[in-house]
Amino acid sequence: MNQPLMPKATAVWLIDNTALTFEQIADFCSLHILEVKGIADGDVDHGIRGADPIAAGQLTRLEIEDCQKDKNARLKAIQKREDLPEVARRVGKKYTPLSKRQDRPDSIFWLVRNHPELLDSQIGKLVGTTKSTIQSIRDRTHWNSANLTPVDPVSVGLCTQLDLDNAVQKAFKRIEKRKAEEAKKYEGEGISAPETITNEQVKETNVEQNLETVNTETEQAIEDNIEENTLTEESNNQEEKEYTSDSVFAKLNELKKED
């Protein structure tokens, strides 16, 4: 039997509030009978505040009353849930209560949309349905496809969050194992394995394309500016060529002849 969390405080409460014998209290609290007598007399650990084992979930009122009637009986602590042995899970199709069966198509739709890595067999075990139903929801050929709304199966009680997490982890391990096998196969044949484009790679590609577009626009703007400057310089040179000294003297001579 497990010892109470606070054995001496529990013994103080049992001495003050029950008619149990010192032997019964000592046996339940894993204390020596003389120590329990000393606590009752106030000689041992004086001033300890009692702890209610009933409120703490360690004993029941019925158990205490039965032991008070029989002095030879011994107190038995309540067995906690975590102390219970694990029950082997039943092998076979999962049973779904009638009140929750109407939620299965919506839950399947949620799993298909949010966890595409799960196999039909895994979804069937989580929700308790058949592969044909799952396939009809995947293909949108289910009789009620137009009215399906994604609903988390954990929220409606069709499966636990632990079962869902375990299924997702198994699915990702299966995918990673398959990728590793394919990469090893391609390496053995001397061919580079095809790279799968992830969302991050798509984002990087988009960023690179944007940068190339910006650089192209910048280069085009610089070329346009250079062309404009070149045309301006050529026009200025032409104007300077038109107003040379020979042309000026020729113009003056023509004016003199006219006069």
Mean local confidence (pLDDT), 30-39: 87
Band (pLDDT 50/70/90 cuts) for residue 133 is very high
Q: Are 127 and 153 in contact (CB under 8 A)?
A: yes
> What is the C-alpha to C-alpha distance for residues 169 and 150, in angstroms, rounded to an integer?
21
Q: Running DSSP on this structure, what letter comes out for residue 70?
A: -
Token match 């610089």: residue? 222
Q: What is the largest CA-CA distance in the chain?
A: 154
d(CA 38, CA 12): 11
SS3 (DSSP) at 78:
coil
What is the model's pLDDT at position 30?
86
- CA atoms of 137 and 131, how far apart (whole Å): 10
What is the C-alpha end-to-end distance of the chain, expressed in Å? Answer: 139
List, for residues 68-120, the tens digit of each pLDDT value. Answer: 888 888 888 876 655 545 555 555 556 667 767 788 999 999 999 999 999 99
Higher per-residue pLDDT: 244 or 149 = 149
Predicted local distance difference test score (pLDDT) of residue 203: 45
**What per-residue confidence (pLDDT) applies to 95?**
67
* Per-residue pLDDT at 155: 85
Tell me which of 117-131, 142-156, 181-195, 211-225 is least confident: 211-225
Nearest C-alpha neighbor of 25 from the set 45, 49, 3? 3
Tokens 């061919």 sit at which residue? 191
Q: Can you tell me the distance from the alpha carbon of 190 to that of 178, in angstroms, rounded to the nearest whole number?
A: 18
pLDDT digits (tens, 9 = 90+) for 232-253: 555 555 555 455 566 666 777 7
28 burial type by CB count under 10 A (0-12 exposed, 13-18 middle, 19+ buried):
buried
Averaged over 43-62, what is the pLDDT? 82
Selected residue with higher pLDDT from 240 and 183: 183
pLDDT for the residue numbered 137: 92
Q: What secondary structure letter does DSSP report for 85? A: P
| CB under 8 A, 24+ apart: contacts of 233-238 | none
Mean of the per-residue pLDDT values for the chain?
76
